[in-house]
Amino acid sequence: MRQRNVKNKEYLIKNSVYIINNPKSYKGNWKEVFNNNNPIHLEIGTGKCKFLVENAKIYPNINFIGLEKSDSVLALGLKDLKEDIPNLKLINCDANSISEIFNQEISLIYLNFSDPWPKKRHDKRRLTHELFLKEYDKIFTSTKQIIQKTDNQGLFEFSLVSFSNHGYIIDTLSIDLHKSEISDNIMTEYEDKFSKKGERIYLVKVIKN
């Protein structure tokens, strides 16, 4: 999907109170950014931030960080982010850099509607590929938790196998989230769009000690 260019995106990103422009300098010390010892939840591919903003409001005793590689998408989210949300920070970078930014500091990772990279030759780019799971191991605290949501059945099936092969066990699973009994779901921008079209949403939460 072609992304819209956003006027003044560089200025918005550089000057936002939510953006951490030098994230690697905080590796191992993210508690200093939030000035507390609360658990940190990380969303990889945060889009326009709807999911994280709502979570941060509901759970003030959890710190939320969103990582988004598209500066245009992130800038769109910043244009609408007018509130003071002290437990929310954002990073403009690629997921490949994740272990250079965090060190045993993340309690939970959200993978919401990640690019499915459907071609077999691109499977190493999927955020649930073994290569990424090994990187996540480096940034988690003792217990490792991942929650994935997607509308892509192929990615979902690939992820279940990948999680299992990497030692994760399934805590929660739904093959049709919006028809399930899960009541605390917070929707992303994509999820809202897909659900209005009647498309099925898959969810899995996995844990590894």
State the catalytic residues.
Answer: 115
70: its two tokens: 């598209």
How far CA 24 is from CA of 34, 93, 97, 107, 128, in Å, comes to: 15, 11, 9, 18, 23
Contact by Cβ (8 Å): 144, 172: no
Helix (H) or strand (E) holding 155: helix 153-165
Q: Where are the alpha helices (DSSP H) in the chain?
A: 9-15, 30-34, 50-58, 71-80, 130-139, 153-165, 189-196
